[in-house]
Structure 1
Amino acid sequence: MAIKHITHLVDDLDGSVLEEGEGKQITFSVEGRAYEIDLSNRNADKFYDAVAPFVDAARSVSRTATNARRPRAARRDNDVDLGAVREWARANGHTVSDRGRVPATVLEAYSAAQS
């Protein structure tokens, strides 16, 4: 026996099932919040007609400017290799997570052991 899974793309506005190759997935944002909606070609046209006056009057904003990630803070010269600290800590009976902040007490103990 075989199991067959069938996926239907559904218009999010009226609930109609869209045929293969029909419809559009539209991504838009309002007030800094991004949205995505699947619409039939007819409803997509209605959407574009409804927002056209606002788009025509608006200024375009670069996508990269709104989605840019903040650069990571530069490591200080006195920073230590946290992977080595974690390895040392586990070997010496300390409990540390695989990611995130290493407790100051562990860093101090590591520094003292390296001196």
Structure 2
Amino acid sequence: MAIRSIVESDLSGKPDAATATFGLGDTWYEVDLTPEERKKLEEALEPYLKVGRKARQAAPTKKRVVPKTTIEERDVIRAWAKKNGYELAERGRIPRKIMKAYDEAHGIDRSK
């Protein structure tokens, strides 16, 4: 048995549409358009595309995920780490591998 997917236009509801992706500012959009609707969109954008230039893609910024902990909890984690043979500084960020080991040893799930 074959399964067939039909994509309908977001504008007209007509079948045989395809997804078009475009951006404005820092926002990207997707819209399902028939070939005729896509052509109209391209015609509307044509004056801007002629004088525009392709933007350089910015380097992705890494989001630093810092677990929410209190000063007291960090002190407890540092004490636990030292007691269990881990080396770490008295101050500063607690290494991820130590946080992970502490969380696993204590059944803590910080993904929530």
Instruction: Number of aligned residue pairs: give it.
Output: 84
In the alignment, structure 1 residue 99 sits paired with structure 2 residue 106: no
Matching of residues 1-115 of structure 1 within 5 Å: 7-18=5-16, 23-63=17-57, 65=58, 68-70=60-62, 72=64, 78=89, 79-80=94-95, 81-90=98-107, 96-99=108-111
SS in 2 for 1:27: strand
Q: CA deviation at 1:6?
A: 5.7
TM-score by length of 1: 0.57
Provide closer, same or farther for how the CA distance between residues 47 and 16 of structure 1 changes in structure 2, counting only shifts above 3 A.
same
TM-score by length of 2: 0.58
Q: CA deviation at 1:29?
A: 1.0
SS in 1 for 2:22: strand
SS in 2 for 1:56: helix
Question: Equivalent residue for 1:109?
Answer: none
- The percent of aligned pairs where both chains have the same amino acid is 20
Rounded to whole Å, the distance in 2 between the matches of 1:53 and 1:60 is 14
Which runs of at least 4 in structure 1 moved beyond 6 Å after TM superposition?
none
Q: CA deviation at 1:61?
A: 0.6
Any stretches of 5+ residues in structure 2 without a counterpart? 66-87
Give the RMSD, CA atoms, in angstroms.
2.9
Rounded to whole Å, the distance in 2 between the matches of 1:84 and 1:24 is 47
